[in-house]
Structures are given as structure tokens and as C-alpha cells.
Amino acid sequence: MFATAARAALRAARRPATRPSPASTATAPILLPPQQRAAPRGVASSRLLSSLAVLEQRDGKLNVASLAAVTAARRLGGSVTGFVAGGPGIRAVAEEGLAESYAPMLVENIKNGGYTHVMTGHSAFGKNLLPRVAALLDVQQISDIIGIESEDTFVRTIYAGNAITTVQSSDNIKVITVRGTAFQSGAAEGGSAELVEGVDPKAENMTEWVSEDLTKSDRPELSTAERVVSGGRGLKSKEDFDRLIPPLADALGAAIGASRAAVDSGFADNSLQVGQTGKNVAPQLYLCAGISGAIQHLAGMKDSKVIAAINKDPDAPIFQVADVGLVGDLFEKVPELTQKLKG
């Protein structure tokens, strides 16, 4: 259960608790060796903590959201163990990442390992998997955290990022998704971790892996790109979106994003959506054209280091958060900017 309160009150109300040391049973293939770390300043060390970071991988490479989850787990102190499905003894369906098969296997390993915290990135993978894990453990999930106050107290945003709340969990096992842009991703230095086969309960389910079709792109991945160029409904059509946004993105070496309005209008694929119901990005440069600045969109990009906006409406809300604003017709300004960058 959660109780929202002032941070000072939470600190004052919290009592040190004792807990037996968790079991040393390891989990299925371990990428990071358990590592005892002192709790950082402001994080409680009243009991022995043990965190399990659930790692998302594709073709043997960890994604940024997973690395951010490891960083968050290390901030808690205590031991940190990495968990990833796949390899000898693990079913192919789990290796493909089906949450219906992955969740019971993960729960069994959590119980065997005696972990106090389970963390993964707040990605599509994490948002699909951890609610199932929390339900099987009969605990409350804590979603999309941006900060850690103590072993049981965490910070997250509400109201589309317009307010910050501090939540406290009394569950014995904390199940948490971590915002990838809120914690610095550490370097993935493989090769030194012990690989230990964990438990596979062979749970039955009605889901079967059929196939997967991946979109290939030479551009940076949207969630982790250093530069992002986004288009909105002001582009008026898919043809104009494709004519104006990709050349500008390529000139900057940027990923392509879109507002929900542009996605709903069919201008761009859903995978490019930035915002509260899309992806959270925090690039060095976020350049948008034809985006008015709805609160749902701002929630997904307002942590960008530099925000530049092109819009013909001088009163558009996007200019309230933009570091650089250009009032003008995007159908003139975007091609002009693209040519200058190429030149």
C-alpha cells in the first residue's frame, strides 16, 4: 500500500527494521555479479538489501532502460543481481520475452533469491512484465520512478509531469519500474560476471510466440538519441511529414519523433510517439515543428537539455518551455533550416 506525504514526514515516521539475510540462491542467467555497496547518502541501511535488476536485451545487448535500472538498484545499496531469460535450460518462449511466460519464472526466482527490490526499465517490456509479477506476488507496483529517498520511499511524477509526489511502500518486496532518463546509464562491461542457471517452473499459459517483425532504421533509437526532431499535426498530412521531417533529422543525425496528434492522424507510426502515452526522451537537442505543446506531449520531452520549436502561433504553449523559438510557417522554415544544415 502507498501513502503520499511530505518527504520530511516520511523520514520522521520511518522506523529501522530488522530482517534476516536473504537466501543466496542465484537467478537465471546472471549478467551482473552480486555486489555489496554502501547505501548512498539519504538512503536507509537499516536492513540487508538485495536488489534484482531485470535486464532487457536484444541480440545480446542490454538496452539503456535496463542499465538505468541497474544504476537505480545500486543507489539503494546492498547487493545487485542481474536477471535475463535465455540460454541453456530456459524455454525459447521465455527467451522471446513473452510476459505471460516470463512472469511466473521471474516470481519463482525472486522468492528463491529473497530479494527485497525488483527493478526494470519503464519500457514497453517493463510495463508489460512487472504488473504481472506484482500481481503474482500480491504487492503494489511502483511505476516510473525518477528518484530514490530510501529503501521504501520513492519519487515519481503525476498529472502528466506537472507535479512530483513521494510514495512509500510497506510491501516486503518492492516491484519498481525506473524512468530511463532519470538515472544515468552505466557502461555495460560484460565478461566478468558468473552465469548461474535459475529456476524455470514450466508454467502453462495460453500464449504462443508466433513471429516478430522489426522496423529497420539507420537513425538513432528514439529513447536514447542525443538529438530528436519531432513533427506534429501542423504538418497537415503524412506526405508533408515524410517530406519535411526525415531530411531535417538526417541533417542533424537525429532520431524522429511525433506528437500524439500526428500519430492519431496517421502521419507517423505509433513507435515514434513522444509524450505521456508514448516515449520519454531527454536528448541534448529536441527540435519540434508543428507541435502546439499539449501537456501530454510536454510530459515526455521537457527534460531535454535544449528545446527548439517552430510554430506559426506565437501563443503556442510549446514556446513556454522552449529555449529557442521560431515563429513562422514551418513549410518555409523547415526546408530552409535543412538546407543551411546541409550546407
Q: Give pLDDT tens digits for 293-321.
A: 999 999 999 999 999 999 999 999 999 99
**pLDDT score for 194:** 61
CATH assignment at residue 287: 3.40.50.1220
Q: Confidence band (pLDDT; 50, 70, 90) for 138?
A: very high
| 144 and 261 together in one domain | no
DSSP string, 183-232: SPPPP---SSSPP----------S-------PPP-SSPPGGG-SEEEEE-
| 6 and 139 together in one domain | yes
User: Does the annotation list 109 as a binding residue?
Assistant: no
What ranges in 220-306 are assigned the alpha helix state H? Answer: 238-252, 260-264, 295-301
| 167 and 284 together in one domain | no
User: Does the annotation list 291 as a binding residue?
Assistant: yes
User: Does the annotation list 122 as a binding residue?
Assistant: no
| 174 and 261 together in one domain | no
Residue 204: inside a domain? no
**Strand partners of residue 118:** 52, 175
Residue 267, C-alpha cell as written in the block:
502521419
Q: Confidence band (pLDDT; 50, 70, 90) for 85?
A: low
User: Does the annotation list 320 as a binding residue?
Assistant: no
User: Does the annotation list 15 as a binding residue?
Assistant: no
Residue 71 lies in domain = 2-178
HSE-CB at 277 with a 13 A cutoff on CA atoms is 9
Percent of the chain at pLDDT > 90 equals 58
CATH assignment at residue 132: 3.40.50.620
Number of domains in the chain: 2
Looking only at the bridges linking them, the beta strands covering 285-289 and 227-231 are: parallel
User: Does the annotation list 311 as a binding residue?
Assistant: yes
User: Does the annotation list 273 as a binding residue?
Assistant: yes
| 86 and 228 together in one domain | no
| 44 and 154 together in one domain | yes
Query: Would the pLDDT of 338 be above 70?
Result: yes
User: Does the annotation list 274 as a binding residue?
Assistant: yes
| 128 and 253 together in one domain | no
Please state, in angstroms and as integers, the Cα–Cα distance from residue 17 to each residue in 23, 29, 152, following that order: 18, 31, 11
User: Does the annotation list 296 as a binding residue?
Assistant: yes
| 239 and 302 together in one domain | yes
Residue 211: inside a domain? no
User: Does the annotation list 277 as a binding residue?
Assistant: yes
Q: What is the mean pLDDT of residues 270-279?
A: 93
Q: Confidence band (pLDDT; 50, 70, 90) for 216?
A: confident
Give the span between the Cα atoms of 338 and 237, in whole angstroms. 19
What's the pTM value of the predicted model, to 2 decimals?
0.73
Read off the pLDDT of residues 238-272 as tens digits, 9 standing for 90 and up.
999 999 999 999 999 999 999 999 999 999 999 99
Residue 320, C-alpha cell as written in the block:
513556454
Give the domain-ending residue among 178, 210, 233.
178
| 93 and 150 together in one domain | yes
**pLDDT score for 93:** 39
